[in-house]
Chains A and B, each alone.
Chain A
Amino acid sequence: MDDFLPSGSMPGEPLTPDPELGVALREALAMPHDGAFVTRLRALVRQRPERTWDEVLAGWFWQGVLAMSLVAMAAAAGSMVTGQPATLPLGEESLAVQLLDSDQPGSEVILNAMAGPR
């Protein structure tokens, strides 16, 4: 019974389109009022914001992951080159903490210079 099929569409052969059936199907499935559908939908699109804030954030997710990976790799590479860990060793305070520590000599002078005249 398969022999009557046009378009050489036997199971072992490459699939080729059946233009006659295609046209008949398009006509059979054609829906009325395309214009009204398009007009209504275009109006909805104009009303609706293209992306909400969470979708914008979601769009930056992979870039964020990539950036974090690059920062981590750069920190690791930096510590390998200098032989120093990328973070301060335990017990060593940062410069800002040292400056704010009033017991350190000269810290007041540096802080005043940074703050400028009042």
Chain B
Amino acid sequence: MNDVDDTLLAARAAGGDPEAFGALIDRHASMARRVAYTVLENQEDADDAAQEGFLSAWQAIGRYDAKRAFRPWLMQIVVNAARDLRRRRRVRTTEPLEFVAAASTHNPAREAGVLDLGDRLRAALATLPERQRLAVVLFDAEGYPQAEIATMLGIPEGTVKSDVFHGRRALRKVLESVKEEWDG
């Protein structure tokens, strides 16, 4: 089903085809988990929220408007699920080690650097307000246009721009310092 577009899969899913919705899960699971993690900053909670988001989308697939892109519709549901979960739970702040280990590459020397960068970026993200975190992750990491992020988060486009600008400034500092260490 790789060559079938999201809207067509969503239409099949709306007709009651769980395999079509499964294909959508395949495509968007990684992104949904990253976005949920951005809100919750905890892997287990992020998985719960992403799962809840997908199941809510499955329940609501009949109301999906095919004139809109599927991906932002889904991510909006995931963001809402993550925010709901954060309100319901006291979010744990510890970082499971296996999470960090799984982001490794094959080169051990490089691996040390990657782990360091990942840790530092997540730490820098944690210092930002949630809306800034989401704006910069959705824009730079996930490639959403400014207007779609504004719709997803329910804020003006100018605010998205400002959030990306300020969030990026903090993260860029980390990136530049790690690059300097690698070069030195």
Chain A: residues with CB nearer than 8 A to chain B?
A: 1-2, 4-7, 9-11, 15, 17-22, 24-34, 37-38, 40-42, 44-46, 48, 50-52, 55-56, 59
Contact = CB atoms under 8 A, between A and B. Distances in A.
B30 A30 contact: yes
Contacts of B125: 25, 28
B121 A28 contact: yes
Given A31-B37, A32-B99, A44 B51 contact: yes
B61 interface: yes
Given A18-B140, A46-B18, A55-B59, A27 B172 contact: no
Contacts of B172: 4-6, 18, 21
Given A27-B114, A30-B103, A48-B58, A41 B30 contact: no
A17 B139 contact: yes
Contact of B22 (A6, A24, A45, A59): A45
B53 to A, nearest CB: 10
| Dominant secondary structure of chain B at its interface with chain A | helix
A45 B175 contact: no
Given A21-B168, A48-B59, A50-B61, 6 more contacts: A22-B140, A27-B114, A28-B121, A29-B122, A34-B33, A48-B58
Nearest to B118: A28
A4 B175 CA distance: 12
A50 B59 contact: yes
Interface of B: 13, 16, 18, 21-22, 25-26, 29-30, 33-34, 37-38, 43, 46-47, 50-51, 54-55, 58-63, 98-99, 102-103, 114, 117-119, 121-122, 125, 136-137, 139-143, 146, 160-162, 164-165, 168-169, 171-172, 175-176
Contacts of B103: 27-28, 30, 32
Contact of B16 (A18, A28, A50): A50
13 contacts: A10-B165, A15-B161, A21-B140, A22-B141, A25-B125, A25-B140, A29-B122, A30-B102, A30-B103, A31-B99, A41-B54, A45-B18, A46-B22
Nearest to A46: B18
A57 B58 CA distance: 16
Contacts of B119: 28
Contacts of B122: 28-29
Contacts of B146: 15
A15 to B, nearest CB: 5
